[in-house]
Structure 1
Amino acid sequence: MKVLVLLSGGVDSATCLGLAIHRFGKENVVTLSISYGQKHVKEMEAAKKIAAYYQVEFIYLDLAKIFEYSDCSLLTHSEQEIPKESYVNQMEEQGEKPVSTYVPFRNGLFLSSAASIALSKDCSRIFYGAHSDDAAGNAYPDCSKAFNEAMNQAIYIGSGKQLKIEAPFVSLNKAKIVEKGLELNVPYELTWSCYEGAEKPCGKCGTCIDRAIAFEKNGVSDPAMNV
């Protein structure tokens, strides 16, 4: 079986790639990294390094044009500040709405684009790293189990029953993902999670906070912080 892995350059997608290679062998794995107009290129640089580390094919796609109408705080053209607080605090302030770093239907667009490329590359699976922490409280609704099931059904039917998607961590939290990644020797020192594009992670944005907690719960220091 050939698998296409959506690779953002962060902890979750890197672990997803490590798992796919462990299951199917690197010769059967293709990676796809998608730019969406984010404020920095650190994620893309990390994704390239991770793909090179594993010696798998790397495909790049730019979907920034689609998101130019959004005022999501992650995007280059937005004047909104990226929140410097945990997702828990953000959700308390937002109520039922997604957090300000939610890029409108991003995973839907990513998976649809990936489906076309996966079919062209003779892949029968798409792997992506959605997990329960991001889906909690409707922070990122396109990371939920319900969304994954709906997209899987749509892509399976729309591909003539040739292609399925799999989110192996959709029921797990980030700490469990890191636990699995440590078992697989995922090169976390190459990954980038921070929403800011400085030389070092800010340590204050929601994704930095979640990442730090995940490594702490596994009793290890974050390798990326020591690079």
Structure 2
Amino acid sequence: MSEIIVVIFSGGMDSYTLLNRALKNDLQVSAVTFNYGQRHAKEIEYAASACVELDIPHKIIDITAINELLQGSSLTSNIDIPEGHYADETMKSTIVPNRNMILLSLAVGYAISIGAKKVFYGAHSGDHAIYPDCRPEFVEKMNNVCAVANYQPIEIVTPYLNYDKGEIVKDGLLMGLDYTKTWSCYNGKDTACGKCGACFERMEAFACNSMSDPSGYEQ
């Protein structure tokens, strides 16, 4: 029997690529998606649809009660979503306090309960500038903690940690992935805005692969 793993799956393109790479590597995937009170549920809807299509176990966990503890981010509070490039200083307003430590801790508990020894998440180098919880030192420290926090050590795995988003898309295209089945935009409209950092980075990722995002944008 193949190895059981847990994948934190947001419904965005990075975690979608990660999920499919794990399946291509013959891993037995259980996906988990967290509703932590983010501004819209578009990504969650895309995650659910993808897991149905891939026929893999998928849990959507409602932790919206913690939203009142995670204020001050434009993703969880009534603060304008910044426009521009991900590397811009303004993009720091999209940091959700302690998000990945919280989500990884919950995913580790889930992994132990189903006999998995690894938790995968889609940290990548494009996030390093703004998000401390996507940097190599964070992953290293989380691995140290998860090795001793329970009787069963759990490994935090980040296959794309040193990849930029263009390289992630390249890997997905080599797998034949359809990225219209993912959602990245910070705004929950019918069509992606084309202005926020997530949209900018996504468009650049496809441009690096000499193509346009098939999903389309308002702008």
Which of the five TM-score ranges fits, normalised by the shorter chain? Answer: over 0.9
Q: State the distance in 2 between where 1:149 and 1:64 align.
A: 28
Deviation string 1:82-114 (CA, Å, 9 cap, x unpaired) is 00111223x2x5xxxx70000001000000000
For residues 85-100 of structure 1, the aligned pairs below 5 Å read: 85-89=84-88, 91=89, 99-100=92-93
**Which residue does the alignment assign to 1:52?**
52
Segments of 5+ residues of structure 2 without an aligned counterpart are none
What is the aligned partner in structure 2 of residue 123 from structure 1? Answer: 116
**Structure with more helix by fraction:** 1
In the alignment, is the contact (CA less than 8 A) between 1:50 and 1:187 conserved in 2?
no
Q: 2:161 aligns with which of 154, 170, 173?
A: 170
CA distance in 1: counterparts of 2:148 and 2:177, whole angstroms = 33
Aligned-CA RMSD value: 1.4
Q: Deviations over 1:180-204 (max 9, x none)?
A: 1111122311100000000000000
Q: Determine the structure 1 residue equivalent to 2:127.
A: 134
Report the alpha carbon displacement of residue 66 of structure 1 after superposing the two structures with TM: 1.8
Displaced runs of 4+ in structure 1, greater than 6 A? none
Task: Give 1:60 deviation, angstroms.
Answer: 1.0
Deviations 1:57-77 (A, max 9, x none): 1111122222313121111xx
Give the residue type in structure 2 aligned to 1:182: L
Question: Retained in 2: the 8 A contact 1:115–1:163?
Answer: yes
TM superposition shift of 1:165: 1.1
Name the SS for the 1:16 alignment partner: helix
Picking from 10, 23, 46, the partner of 2:25 is: 23
Equivalent-residue separation in structure 1 for 2:66 and 2:8 (angstroms): 18
Q: Does 1:145 align with 2:136?
A: yes
Shift of 1:5: 0.5
Q: Give, in whole Å, the separation in 2 of the partners of 1:185 and 1:108.
A: 32
Aligned to 2:97: 104
* Distance in 2 separating the partners of 1:18 and 1:171: 18
Alpha-carbon contact 2:13-2:184 (below 8 Å) kept: yes
1:219 equivalent to 2:210? Answer: yes
- Paired residue for 1:14? 16
Describe the SS at the equivalent of 1:30.
Answer: strand
Choose from 191, 201, 205 the match for 1:210.
Answer: 201
Q: TM-score, normalised by structure 1?
A: 0.90
The alignment-based identity, stated in percent, is: 38
- Taking structure 2 as the reference length, the TM-score comes to 0.93
Q: Which amino acid aligns with 1:146?
A: E
CA distance in 2, matches of 1:165, 1:197: 30
